[in-house]
Amino acid sequence: MSRYKGKTALITGASSGIGAAFAHELARRGMNLILVARSADRLRKLADHLTAQHRVRVEVLPFDLVTDGAAERVRAEVSQRGLTVDLLINNAGFAAHGNFEEISAARDHEMVTLNVTALVDLTHAFVPQLLARGGAVINLASVLSYSPTPYMAVYGATKAFVISFSSALAEEYRGRGLRVLALCPGATETAFFDVVGSDSMIIGAKRNAKQVVATALRALERGQSVVIDGVGNAFMANLVRLLPFALAARAIAVVTRPKTAPTPRTAQASEQ
């Protein structure tokens, strides 16, 4: 517990799903929290609960990370409140499922902005202090990071970026006191698949958000740079990565192909 107690974690997409599970577990371990998401009411409700239950300091920052300059505004607000971040968890993100031409260009642009640009901007904003404090970054990737993903083409590509970016930084900062981890969950019991409306995309049993968080923190403590949550997910991801890209895309398409008439569906991988 000593590696967490009294330190501060900043979690994006913190109001639900994996982000909220990180908040619960880190507060249990004695960490103070900075919770970032669009939903101010949900964040404040979570903050009040965690403060009462664990007696930790919980700050709420209701920001939309898709807007220009959001990362710098988050950094400035954290500084203004006299806080310093020891653990940055870039969890916010969303996905869209459907035929590419049926998904609006604006929505895909927003997805790239949140899943990639905001993640990189926040990492830039906080790495100097994380490096000085021997801190860590956890970036949410996905099992879909390992192959092209038809019918979720942009989402899969953004998550491939996350795993490449995180792995590169992990090596760059190896031996300098800053740990970087890419966390790759598979199907998880959050609102993601409820919104996508395609349980047929799930292979095997869903994991829950608490299990995903346990996997992440265990991997971080072991100094890993990439971790896939769940034995079954790890097996499938490593199997697919052995295939040529074209064959991998064909195999994944069997699972992700819409089972009804083409209608774009958008899912919040985590609350922005």
What is the CATH number for 190? 3.40.50.720
Residue matched to tokens 């997805």: 111
Is pLDDT at 211 greater than 80 in this prediction?
Answer: yes
What's residue 195's pLDDT? 45
Choice among 25-34, 141-150, 185-194 with the minimum mean pLDDT: 185-194
What's residue 196's pLDDT? 45
Q: At a CB cut-off of 8 Å and minimum separation 6, what does 47 contact?
A: 33, 35, 58, 59, 60
The pTM for the full model equals 0.91
Is pLDDT at 30 greater than 80 in this prediction?
Answer: yes
Q: Answer with the residue of higher pLDDT: 66 or 2.
A: 66
Determine the Cα angle at 100 with ends 94 and 106, to 5°: 55
Share of the chain above pLDDT 90, in %: 79
Tell me which residue of 256, 227, 62, 18 sits closest to 155, measured CA to CA. Answer: 256
Amino acid at 6: G
Domains contained in the chain, number: 1
Amino acid at 253: A
What's residue 242's pLDDT? 87
Q: Answer with the residue of higher pLDDT: 227 or 201.
A: 227
| Domain extent for 70 | 8-270
Q: Is residue 2 part of a domain?
A: no
Is pLDDT at 78 greater than 80 in this prediction?
Answer: yes
Question: Within 10 Å of residue 154's Cβ, how many Cβ atoms?
Answer: 19
Tell me which residue of 16, 10, 72 sits closest to 39, measured CA to CA. Answer: 16
What's residue 189's pLDDT? 81
- Among 4, 146, 155, 173, the active-site one is 155
Residue matched to tokens 């994991």: 207
**Catalytic residue flag (residue 155):** yes
Cα 12 to the center of its chain, rounded Å: 8
Cα 97 to the center of its chain, rounded Å: 18
Is pLDDT at 134 greater than 90 in this prediction?
Answer: yes
Is pLDDT at 198 greater than 70 in this prediction?
Answer: no
Q: Is residue 136 part of a domain?
A: yes
Strand partners, 266: 96
Mean pLDDT across 179-205: 69
What's residue 271's pLDDT? 47
Tell me which residue of 161, 220, 188 sits closest to 18, measured CA to CA. Answer: 188
Mean pLDDT across 132-137: 97
Q: Is residue 1 part of a domain?
A: no
Query: Do 264 and 221 touch, CB atoms closer than 8 A?
Result: no
Q: Is residue 211 part of a domain?
A: yes
Could you give phi then psi for residue 209, rounded to 5 degrees? Answer: -60, -35
Cα torsion at 114, 87, 133, 122 (round to 10°)? 10
Q: Is residue 245 part of a domain?
A: yes
